[in-house]
Protein backbone atom coordinates (compact mmCIF):
# COMPACT_ATOMS: atom_id res chain seq x y z
CA UNK A 1 0.00 0.00 0.00
CA UNK A 2 1.07 3.56 -0.60
CA UNK A 3 2.22 5.08 2.71
CA UNK A 4 2.74 8.71 3.78
CA UNK A 5 3.42 10.80 6.87
CA UNK A 6 0.31 12.80 7.68
CA UNK A 7 -0.13 15.14 10.66
CA UNK A 8 2.45 13.08 12.55
CA UNK A 9 0.69 9.82 11.69
CA UNK A 10 1.52 7.14 9.16
CA UNK A 11 -1.24 6.82 6.56
CA UNK A 12 -1.62 4.06 3.94
CA UNK A 13 -4.31 3.83 1.31
CA UNK A 14 -5.29 2.17 -1.93
CA UNK A 15 -8.51 1.84 -3.84
CA UNK A 16 -9.92 -0.35 -6.55
CA UNK A 17 -12.84 -2.41 -7.80
CA UNK A 18 -13.49 -5.97 -6.64
CA UNK A 19 -15.30 -8.81 -8.38
CA UNK A 20 -15.84 -7.39 -11.82
CA UNK A 21 -17.32 -10.31 -13.74
CA UNK A 22 -16.67 -10.55 -17.46
CA UNK A 23 -17.04 -13.29 -20.04
CA UNK A 24 -15.38 -13.14 -23.48
CA UNK A 25 -16.27 -15.28 -26.49
CA UNK A 26 -14.00 -15.75 -29.52
CA UNK A 27 -15.49 -17.21 -32.70
CA UNK A 28 -13.01 -19.07 -34.91
CA UNK A 29 -13.52 -19.18 -38.69
CA UNK A 30 -14.04 -22.96 -38.60
CA UNK A 31 -17.16 -22.48 -36.44
CA UNK A 32 -15.57 -23.33 -33.09
CA UNK A 33 -16.17 -20.95 -30.20
CA UNK A 34 -13.75 -20.31 -27.32
CA UNK A 35 -14.81 -18.62 -24.10
CA UNK A 36 -13.57 -17.55 -20.69
CA UNK A 37 -15.29 -16.19 -17.60
CA UNK A 38 -13.17 -14.03 -15.31
CA UNK A 39 -13.75 -12.43 -11.92
CA UNK A 40 -11.43 -9.43 -11.81
CA UNK A 41 -10.28 -7.39 -8.80
CA UNK A 42 -8.21 -4.26 -9.22
CA UNK A 43 -6.27 -2.19 -6.67
CA UNK A 44 -4.48 1.01 -7.64
CA UNK A 45 -1.63 2.73 -5.83
CA UNK A 46 -1.88 6.45 -6.35
CA UNK A 47 -1.27 9.61 -4.41
CA UNK A 48 -4.86 10.61 -3.74
CA UNK A 49 -4.42 11.70 -0.11
CA UNK A 50 -6.30 14.90 -0.95
CA UNK A 51 -9.50 12.90 -1.37
CA UNK A 52 -9.13 11.57 2.19
CA UNK A 53 -8.11 14.77 3.93
CA UNK A 54 -9.16 17.75 1.77
CA UNK A 55 -12.32 16.54 0.00
CA UNK A 56 -10.47 16.88 -3.29
CA UNK A 57 -11.12 13.99 -5.72
CA UNK A 58 -9.12 15.41 -8.61
CA UNK A 59 -6.50 12.63 -8.46
CA UNK A 60 -8.94 9.76 -8.20
CA UNK A 61 -9.56 7.18 -10.91
CA UNK A 62 -13.21 6.31 -10.28
CA UNK A 63 -13.69 2.64 -9.45
CA UNK A 64 -16.57 2.72 -11.94
CA UNK A 65 -14.04 3.66 -14.63
CA UNK A 66 -11.90 0.69 -13.57
CA UNK A 67 -14.90 -1.57 -14.05
CA UNK A 68 -15.63 -0.15 -17.50
CA UNK A 69 -11.98 -0.60 -18.45
CA UNK A 70 -12.26 -4.34 -17.83
CA UNK A 71 -15.04 -4.60 -20.43
CA UNK A 72 -13.34 -2.21 -22.87
CA UNK A 73 -10.06 -4.16 -22.72
CA UNK A 74 -11.90 -7.49 -23.03
CA UNK A 75 -13.51 -6.11 -26.18
CA UNK A 76 -10.11 -5.05 -27.55
CA UNK A 77 -8.70 -8.56 -27.06
CA UNK A 78 -9.64 -9.94 -30.46
CA UNK A 79 -7.46 -13.05 -29.98
CA UNK A 80 -7.86 -15.54 -27.15
CA UNK A 81 -5.35 -14.85 -24.35
CA UNK A 82 -4.34 -16.32 -21.01
CA UNK A 83 -5.79 -15.00 -17.76
CA UNK A 84 -2.21 -13.94 -16.86
CA UNK A 85 -1.86 -11.89 -20.04
CA UNK A 86 -5.21 -10.20 -19.42
CA UNK A 87 -4.23 -9.32 -15.84
CA UNK A 88 -0.87 -7.93 -17.04
CA UNK A 89 -2.57 -5.97 -19.83
CA UNK A 90 -4.96 -4.35 -17.34
CA UNK A 91 -2.27 -3.54 -14.77
CA UNK A 92 -0.04 -2.13 -17.51
CA UNK A 93 -2.91 0.03 -18.73
CA UNK A 94 -3.63 1.58 -15.32
CA UNK A 95 0.03 2.33 -14.61
CA UNK A 96 0.78 3.81 -18.04
CA UNK A 97 -2.52 5.61 -18.80
CA UNK A 98 -2.75 7.59 -15.53
CA UNK A 99 0.14 9.78 -14.40
CA UNK A 100 -1.30 9.56 -10.85
CA UNK A 101 -1.09 5.75 -10.67
CA UNK A 102 2.27 4.37 -9.55
CA UNK A 103 1.31 0.71 -9.30
CA UNK A 104 -1.55 -1.71 -9.83
CA UNK A 105 -2.49 -5.12 -8.47
CA UNK A 106 -4.85 -7.17 -10.60
CA UNK A 107 -6.25 -10.46 -9.30
CA UNK A 108 -8.37 -12.72 -11.48
CA UNK A 109 -10.13 -16.02 -10.83
CA UNK A 110 -11.08 -17.92 -13.97
CA UNK A 111 -14.25 -19.99 -13.88
CA UNK A 112 -13.46 -23.52 -15.09
CA UNK A 113 -15.67 -23.71 -18.20
CA UNK A 114 -14.62 -26.72 -20.30
CA UNK A 115 -15.70 -27.74 -23.78
CA UNK A 116 -18.24 -30.60 -23.68
CA UNK A 117 -17.90 -33.80 -25.63
CA UNK A 118 -21.05 -35.22 -27.19
CA UNK A 119 -20.75 -38.79 -28.57
CA UNK A 120 -16.98 -38.45 -28.15
CA UNK A 121 -16.89 -35.28 -30.32
CA UNK A 122 -15.83 -31.86 -29.02
CA UNK A 123 -18.82 -29.54 -29.16
CA UNK A 124 -18.32 -26.34 -31.18
CA UNK A 125 -20.02 -24.02 -28.72
CA UNK A 126 -21.04 -26.14 -25.68
CA UNK A 127 -19.27 -25.87 -22.30
CA UNK A 128 -19.71 -27.34 -18.83
CA UNK A 129 -18.34 -26.24 -15.48
CA UNK A 130 -15.29 -28.14 -14.25
CA UNK A 131 -13.92 -28.05 -10.73
CA UNK A 132 -10.57 -26.41 -9.97
CA UNK A 133 -9.97 -22.74 -10.76
CA UNK A 134 -7.02 -20.96 -12.36
CA UNK A 135 -6.00 -17.80 -10.49
CA UNK A 136 -3.54 -15.00 -11.09
CA UNK A 137 -2.25 -12.04 -9.11
CA UNK A 138 0.00 -9.51 -10.82
CA UNK A 139 1.63 -6.40 -9.38
CA UNK A 140 2.90 -3.93 -11.96
CA UNK A 141 4.79 -0.71 -11.15
CA UNK A 142 5.07 2.32 -13.41
CA UNK A 143 8.75 1.46 -13.89
CA UNK A 144 7.70 -1.80 -15.56
CA UNK A 145 8.67 -3.94 -12.56
CA UNK A 146 6.41 -7.00 -12.29
CA UNK A 147 5.52 -9.65 -9.73
CA UNK A 148 3.50 -12.44 -11.31
CA UNK A 149 1.91 -15.22 -9.24
CA UNK A 150 -0.38 -17.85 -10.75
CA UNK A 151 -2.31 -20.51 -8.91
CA UNK A 152 -4.95 -23.17 -8.56
CA UNK A 153 -7.88 -23.19 -6.16
CA UNK A 154 -10.21 -26.00 -5.13
CA UNK A 155 -8.26 -28.89 -6.64
CA UNK A 156 -9.86 -31.78 -4.74
CA UNK A 157 -7.87 -35.02 -4.79
CA UNK A 158 -8.15 -38.29 -2.89
CA UNK A 159 -6.46 -41.67 -2.83
CA UNK A 160 -7.85 -44.71 -1.08
CA UNK A 161 -4.54 -46.28 -0.02
CA UNK A 162 -0.74 -45.73 0.02
CA UNK A 163 -1.06 -43.24 2.85
CA UNK A 164 -0.17 -43.48 6.53
CA UNK A 165 0.90 -41.49 9.56
CA UNK A 166 3.27 -42.92 12.16
CA UNK A 167 5.94 -41.91 14.64
CA UNK A 168 4.32 -38.66 15.80
CA UNK A 169 4.49 -37.42 19.43
CA UNK A 170 2.46 -39.56 21.83
CA UNK A 171 1.37 -38.14 25.18
CA UNK A 172 -1.53 -38.37 27.59
CA UNK A 173 -3.79 -36.50 25.13
CA UNK A 174 -2.96 -38.65 22.09
CA UNK A 175 -5.68 -41.02 20.89
CA UNK A 176 -4.83 -41.31 17.18
CA UNK A 177 -3.51 -44.78 16.34
CA UNK A 178 -0.51 -45.09 14.06
CA UNK A 179 -1.42 -46.37 10.62
CA UNK A 180 0.08 -47.33 7.26
CA UNK A 181 -3.35 -47.61 5.66
CA UNK A 182 -5.74 -44.69 5.36
CA UNK A 183 -7.51 -42.46 2.86
CA UNK A 184 -5.65 -39.28 1.90
CA UNK A 185 -7.93 -36.46 0.78
CA UNK A 186 -7.28 -32.77 0.35
CA UNK A 187 -8.32 -29.65 -1.51
CA UNK A 188 -5.15 -28.15 -2.91
CA UNK A 189 -4.64 -24.40 -3.11
CA UNK A 190 -1.43 -23.71 -4.97
CA UNK A 191 0.34 -20.54 -6.00
CA UNK A 192 3.62 -20.13 -7.81
CA UNK A 193 5.72 -17.11 -8.62
CA UNK A 194 7.28 -16.64 -12.03
CA UNK A 195 10.81 -15.29 -12.40
CA UNK A 196 9.76 -12.57 -14.88
CA UNK A 197 10.38 -9.35 -12.97
CA UNK A 198 9.85 -6.82 -15.73
CA UNK A 199 7.16 -6.29 -18.36
CA UNK A 200 9.85 -6.55 -21.05
CA UNK A 201 10.65 -10.13 -19.98
CA UNK A 202 7.11 -11.56 -20.08
CA UNK A 203 6.98 -14.36 -22.71
CA UNK A 204 5.09 -13.22 -25.79
CA UNK A 205 4.06 -16.69 -27.00
CA UNK A 206 0.24 -16.77 -27.12
CA UNK A 207 -1.32 -18.80 -24.29
CA UNK A 208 2.14 -19.48 -22.77
CA UNK A 209 0.80 -19.17 -19.21
CA UNK A 210 -2.29 -21.28 -19.98
CA UNK A 211 0.04 -24.11 -21.04
CA UNK A 212 2.20 -23.58 -17.96
CA UNK A 213 -0.89 -23.82 -15.74
CA UNK A 214 -1.83 -27.18 -17.29
CA UNK A 215 1.78 -28.42 -16.92
CA UNK A 216 2.11 -27.34 -13.27
CA UNK A 217 -1.22 -28.95 -12.43
CA UNK A 218 -0.03 -32.19 -14.03
CA UNK A 219 3.22 -32.21 -12.04
CA UNK A 220 1.29 -31.57 -8.79
CA UNK A 221 -1.16 -34.38 -9.52
CA UNK A 222 1.46 -36.86 -10.79
CA UNK A 223 3.47 -36.32 -7.60
CA UNK A 224 0.42 -36.62 -5.34
CA UNK A 225 -0.82 -39.87 -6.92
CA UNK A 226 2.34 -41.60 -8.20
CA UNK A 227 2.23 -44.02 -11.16
CA UNK A 228 -1.22 -45.42 -12.06
CA UNK A 229 -0.58 -49.04 -11.00
CA UNK A 230 1.61 -48.86 -7.92
CA UNK A 231 0.96 -45.28 -6.71
CA UNK A 232 3.41 -43.82 -4.20
CA UNK A 233 3.38 -44.14 -0.40
CA UNK A 234 2.68 -40.93 1.55
CA UNK A 235 4.05 -40.95 5.13
CA UNK A 236 2.25 -37.64 5.86
CA UNK A 237 0.50 -34.74 4.13
CA UNK A 238 3.63 -32.73 4.96
CA UNK A 239 5.89 -35.11 3.01
CA UNK A 240 3.58 -35.27 0.00
CA UNK A 241 3.22 -31.49 -0.03
CA UNK A 242 7.00 -31.03 0.05
CA UNK A 243 7.55 -33.48 -2.81
CA UNK A 244 4.91 -31.68 -4.87
CA UNK A 245 6.66 -28.34 -4.32
CA UNK A 246 10.09 -29.82 -5.08
CA UNK A 247 8.77 -31.32 -8.31
CA UNK A 248 7.38 -27.95 -9.48
CA UNK A 249 10.61 -26.07 -8.73
CA UNK A 250 12.78 -28.73 -10.39
CA UNK A 251 10.65 -28.96 -13.50
CA UNK A 252 10.04 -25.29 -14.29
CA UNK A 253 13.07 -22.98 -14.45
CA UNK A 254 10.86 -19.91 -14.76
CA UNK A 255 9.13 -20.61 -11.42
CA UNK A 256 11.08 -19.32 -8.41
CA UNK A 257 8.71 -20.03 -5.52
CA UNK A 258 5.70 -22.20 -4.82
CA UNK A 259 3.19 -22.28 -1.99
CA UNK A 260 0.76 -25.10 -1.19
CA UNK A 261 -2.14 -25.30 1.23
CA UNK A 262 -3.34 -28.85 1.72
CA UNK A 263 -5.99 -29.36 4.41
CA UNK A 264 -6.10 -32.94 5.66
CA UNK A 265 -9.75 -33.89 5.05
CA UNK A 266 -10.29 -36.80 7.36
CA UNK A 267 -12.06 -40.04 6.47
CA UNK A 268 -12.72 -41.61 9.85
CA UNK A 269 -12.94 -45.41 10.25
CA UNK A 270 -16.49 -46.47 11.15
CA UNK A 271 -16.88 -48.91 14.06
CA UNK A 272 -20.35 -49.30 15.54
CA UNK A 273 -21.13 -51.52 18.47
CA UNK A 274 -23.83 -51.95 21.09
CA UNK A 275 -24.00 -53.79 24.41
CA UNK A 276 -25.68 -56.74 22.68
CA UNK A 277 -23.79 -56.58 19.40
CA UNK A 278 -20.10 -55.64 19.68
CA UNK A 279 -19.72 -55.54 15.90
CA UNK A 280 -22.71 -53.91 14.18
CA UNK A 281 -20.12 -52.40 11.87
CA UNK A 282 -16.50 -53.52 12.21
CA UNK A 283 -14.02 -51.40 10.27
CA UNK A 284 -12.01 -53.28 7.67
CA UNK A 285 -10.65 -50.39 5.55
CA UNK A 286 -14.03 -50.19 3.87
CA UNK A 287 -16.62 -47.92 5.53
CA UNK A 288 -15.60 -44.37 6.45
CA UNK A 289 -17.14 -41.21 7.84
CA UNK A 290 -15.92 -38.33 5.65
CA UNK A 291 -15.59 -35.03 7.49
CA UNK A 292 -14.00 -31.67 6.87
CA UNK A 293 -14.80 -30.18 10.30
CA UNK A 294 -12.38 -30.16 11.94
CA UNK A 295 -9.56 -30.74 9.48
CA UNK A 296 -5.78 -30.62 9.64
CA UNK A 297 -4.39 -27.45 8.09
CA UNK A 298 -1.00 -27.91 6.46
CA UNK A 299 0.77 -25.36 4.30
CA UNK A 300 4.29 -24.53 3.27
CA UNK A 301 6.18 -22.57 0.67
CA UNK A 302 9.41 -23.46 -1.06
CA UNK A 303 11.55 -21.04 -3.00
CA UNK A 304 14.99 -20.56 -4.44
CA UNK A 305 17.27 -18.55 -2.11
CA UNK A 306 17.02 -15.52 -4.37
CA UNK A 307 13.21 -15.48 -4.41
CA UNK A 308 10.22 -15.26 -2.10
CA UNK A 309 6.50 -15.74 -2.65
Ligand X SMILES: O=c1[nH]c(=O)c2[nH]c(=O)[nH]c2[nH]1
- Contact residues toward ligand X (CB under 6 A) are 165, 176, 236-238, 264, 296
Q: How far is the CB of 227 from ligand X (least distance, A)?
A: 21
Task: Assess whether 63 carries a catalytic annotation.
Answer: yes
Which string of DSSP letters, residue by residue, matches 96-131? Answer: HH-TTEEEEEEEEEE--EEEEEETTEEEEEEEEE-S
Q: Does the annotation place 121 within a ligand binding site? A: no
Q: Does the annotation place 276 within a ligand binding site? A: no
CB closer to ligand X out of 74 and 237: 237
Q: How far is the CB of 217 from ligand X (least distance, A)?
A: 22
Q: How far is the CB of 174 from ligand X (least distance, A)?
A: 9
Q: Does the annotation place 238 within a ligand binding site? A: yes
CB closer to ligand X out of 63 and 238: 238
CB closer to ligand X out of 118 and 175: 175
Q: Does the annotation place 182 within a ligand binding site? A: yes
Judge contact between 300 and 245, C-beta under 8 A: yes
Catalytic residue of the set 63, 160, 161, 195: 63
Q: How far is the CB of 237 from ligand X (least distance, A)?
A: 4
Task: Assess whether 17 carries a catalytic annotation.
Answer: yes
The annotation places the binding site for O2 at: 63, 264
Q: List residues with catalytic annotation.
A: 17, 63, 266
- Please enumerate, by residue number, every residue annotated as part of a binding site for urate: 63-64, 165, 182, 237-238, 264
Amino acid sequence: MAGKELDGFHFEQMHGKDRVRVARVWRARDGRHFMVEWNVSISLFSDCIAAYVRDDNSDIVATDTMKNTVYAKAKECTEQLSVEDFAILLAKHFTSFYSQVSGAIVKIVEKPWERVYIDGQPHEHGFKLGSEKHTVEVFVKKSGAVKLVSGIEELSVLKTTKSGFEGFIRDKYTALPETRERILATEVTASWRYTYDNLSRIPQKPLYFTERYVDVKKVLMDTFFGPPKEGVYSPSVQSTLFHMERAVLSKFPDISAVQLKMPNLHFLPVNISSKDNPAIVKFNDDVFLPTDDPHGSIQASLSHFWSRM
